[in-house]
Structure 1
Amino acid sequence: MDLNLLSLLTPLYGGGFVHAFTQLFVFYYVVGALIHWGIPLLLPVQSVQPQPRVKGSVTRDAFYSLGPMAVKAAIWVIVEKMHARGWNLVYTSPIDTLPHVLYCGLVVGLLDYLHDSWFYWTHRMLHWGPLYRHIHYIHHKSKVPSAFTGYSFHVVEAIIVFANEVLVTMVLPMPASVHRVYHLTTTAIHEGGHAGYEIAPFVPTVESLLLLVFKGTKDANRGHALNTVQHHDMHHRFPNRHFSLYFTHWDRWFGTMHPQYEKNLFSYFK
């Protein structure tokens, strides 16, 4: 790697806007290329999409993603500035003891739940008529999404969606490195959720990985609690269904789960 690029990727935290944007840019397009082109070349995948993708939509979505990445990078800088002024609970001490490692694991679990809850309710809000017509419609240009649809949305939507990355630092103490790595990982989750094919557990949450380790891919209860690629893919076909990101409980509790969701789901996990 070019030394100038390497200097923009490290250290992990604290380098300002250009540093944060470069981290996101490299991560987003490398992961997107791996999901969209690399994995289908290496592994047999089964599409969850019933119709072909419109020509040019992948390039369009990859371009539209630049604005939201700039917003996300700016939000990371806000977190850095707040930390410098003592306005949030982020800290920079090393993670060098077992209790601290265990605590960070708990933080990741809490962040998953908080992120999913924030996403569900803000996502439903974005489907309110005026917000949908003027803002959220951009994301729904993709009826057959790809990995690059992950951050393909309006910059106002990006402010709404990524605002939780500031809010969590005001209620939950966490190392700066955990905050940065976690929210880089959520980028992969947004991309993976739009992949168009299912590899269990393709939406790479800690919960999905634990289920894979302990129960494998044949557990029929998997779809009852954890999200899948098909879950969000159906949202692009049925926009008033499937608003969650990691888990399915909000959709089940509030009647936004599509009744046909599980009909073919588990055929992808054999």
Structure 2
Amino acid sequence: MSAQNRKTTVWNHAPELPLQSMPYWHWPPRPWAVLRWLFQNFLQVSDRALFLAYSFAIAFWLMPFVPAEAALAWDWSALVLLRNLVAVFLVVGGLHIWFYGIDGQGNVMRFDARPITGRKNALFLFGYQTWDNMFYTLIYGVPIASGFEIAVRWAYANGWTMQVTFADNPVWFILLFPLLTLLQGLHFYLIHRLIHWPPLYRHVHSVHHRNVNVGPWSGLSMHPVEHLFYFSSLLIFLVLPAHPVHMMFLLHWQLLGAPTGHSGYEAVFAKNKARILIGGFFHQLHHRYYECNYGSPEFPLDKWFGTYHDGTEEMTAVIRDRKRRMHAK
């Protein structure tokens, strides 16, 4: 089905439904399907492939991990913050301008065609969704993410981590990239279920869920407590044997991947072709229906715990019935 006409009665556009689990979890195992999926997502033009390339550029060229970072100092710490701010402005701001500023592809490959900007709404800071989202992203999100990066850089420089190079163990070095997306999916599911606990939801996570229909700036629009939970995944490098490039990849998978995953579109579409795959429909379902898809497509915890929404209208009815029973208690 073409990008222009793949619609359901609920969504302007959707990927092929029902959503399928990642090939990692097929039984019996399908190794060729796994290899094909890895090639498509890590070695072709997709957001994660671009994050991977950017992480190599930083770790080996633009801002490598150096012994001088053993001493915390404002000069190199400020450069970390500045670099992350520039990356967010370029990626998130660029996507917002393309999708919602110049309307670069209209509703082509857009999940929910309802507007996210324009009408004033007292629910948001400053009255507008985009301004609210930018405030939480830039004032809290980027500084907190940068703080975790600075802390891990400091730990690396002081020799408190277990470093692995490609020459030491090339198989582990390569496999760790997809493994990190799996581990992040596990971490995200656990913290996400926690912040849906009513007291934390009311005081913390509700900030993010103001965005029922999402845009790129919505990805990191969170209460600062949620930012602390979200980026705490980077602490795994205190115990996991890895190279600094792996830490940079996980950072960008979250810092830039959350905005691309909340863009509201399946791909950047230009000249009659999907140019950059960015996905996000799995999580778009969570923003619409709340009590489903707490994790990520990488790790099937939602399937195992009965909170999986596959995008079909039949599953929407199941989710809504469960919500009614939850609120009736």
- Specify if TM > 0.5: yes
Match of 2:178 in 1: 109
% same residue: 24
Match of 2:134 in 1: 62
Match of 2:108 in 1: 45
Per the TM alignment, residue 21 of structure 1 is displaced from its structure 2 partner at its CA by 1.2
2:286 is the counterpart of 1:235: yes
| From 265, 273, 294, the counterpart of 1:197 | 265
Per the TM alignment, residue 185 of structure 1 is displaced from its structure 2 partner at its CA by 3.4
2:240 is the counterpart of 1:172: yes
Relative to the length of structure 2, the TM-score reads: 0.62
Cα deviation digits, residues 109-140 of structure 1 (max 9, x gap) = 21111101000110111100011011111111
Contact 2:81 2:146 in 1 (8 A): yes
Cα deviation digits, residues 66-121 of structure 1 (max 9, x gap) = 20211111111111222233222246x6x5x4x75543221112111110100011
Return the alpha-carbon distance in structure 2 between the equivalents of residues 175 and 122 of structure 1. Answer: 25
Contact 1:54 1:144 in 2 (8 A): no
Cα deviation digits, residues 197-217 of structure 1 (max 9, x gap) = 1127734xxxxxxxxxxxxxx
Contact 2:91 2:256 in 1 (8 A): yes
Per the TM alignment, residue 178 of structure 1 is displaced from its structure 2 partner at its CA by 2.7
Per the alignment, do residues 114 and 248 of structure 1 end up closer, same or farther by CA in structure 2, a change over 3 Å counting? closer
Match of 1:182 in 2: 250
The gaps in structure 1 that reach 5 residues or longer are: 1-8, 204-227, 265-270
| From 227, 252, 264, the counterpart of 1:158 | 227
The gaps in structure 2 that reach 5 residues or longer are: 1-60, 70-75, 119-127, 268-273, 315-329
Match of 2:213 in 1: 144
| From 137, 145, 158, the counterpart of 1:72 | 145
Contact 2:285 2:293 in 1 (8 A): yes
Return the alpha-carbon distance in structure 2 between the equivalents of residues 155 and 114 of structure 1. Answer: 22
Match of 2:156 in 1: 83
Match of 1:129 in 2: 198
Per the TM alignment, residue 187 of structure 1 is displaced from its structure 2 partner at its CA by 2.3
Per the alignment, do residues 202 and 245 of structure 1 end up closer, same or farther by CA in structure 2, a change over 3 Å counting? farther
Return the alpha-carbon distance in structure 1 between the equivalents of residues 105 and 117 of structure 2. Answer: 24
Contact 1:242 1:256 in 2 (8 A): yes
Contact 2:231 2:254 in 1 (8 A): no
2:305 is the counterpart of 1:257: no
Residue type of the partner of 1:235? H
Contact 2:155 2:238 in 1 (8 A): no
